[in-house]
Amino acid sequence: MKEVSHPKFYFFDPGVSRAIQNRLREPLESSERGPLLETLVFHELRSWMNISGCGGVISYWRTPSQSEIDFIWMRGEKAVGIEVKAGAVLKRECGGPLNRLAHERQLQKCFAIYLGDTQLRDGAVHVLPVKEFMNDVACGKILG
């Protein structure tokens, strides 16, 4: 598989993009949920990297066939894949790219985050509700 490199841009606060669009008091549209949740997760990961001193690099992974993983944290030979979904129900295929890279031993840990309330397992992927994931990040259980 050939990797495609496309940078993603995250505002320093998930609400800034809504403020720029003059939509702060408007209800969230379904199309906004994913990017806003990704931004929140990105900043939680970066904060933990800085607070803990664990270091590493966060990147985005996508193939020409459009398979993607929202975040890959790497430090040396260690890599953690994280997929973010803004739905309360997780579709089975969302863990596909993570499971493939785990099977190829390119990822040591895999997580999918969603707005549901139940921990699940999809092959090598630990599926966590957002609140539990954020708690696990703060406790040092995700990176490192």
Q: In Å, how far from its chain's centre is CA 131?
A: 13
- Write down the pTM of the prediction: 0.83
Q: What's residue 68's pLDDT?
A: 84
- Cα distance between residue 53 and residue 69, in whole Å: 24
Is 108 strand, coil or helix? coil
Q: What's residue 2's pLDDT?
A: 46
Residues 4-41 have pLDDT tens digits of 555 566 666 667 777 887 877 887 778 778 888 988 89
The yes/no answer on whether domain 16-138 falls in CATH 1.10.10 is: no
The residue ranges of every structural domain in the chain are: 16-138
Residue ranges of the chain whose pLDDT lies below 50: 1-3
H or E element at residue 41: helix 30-52
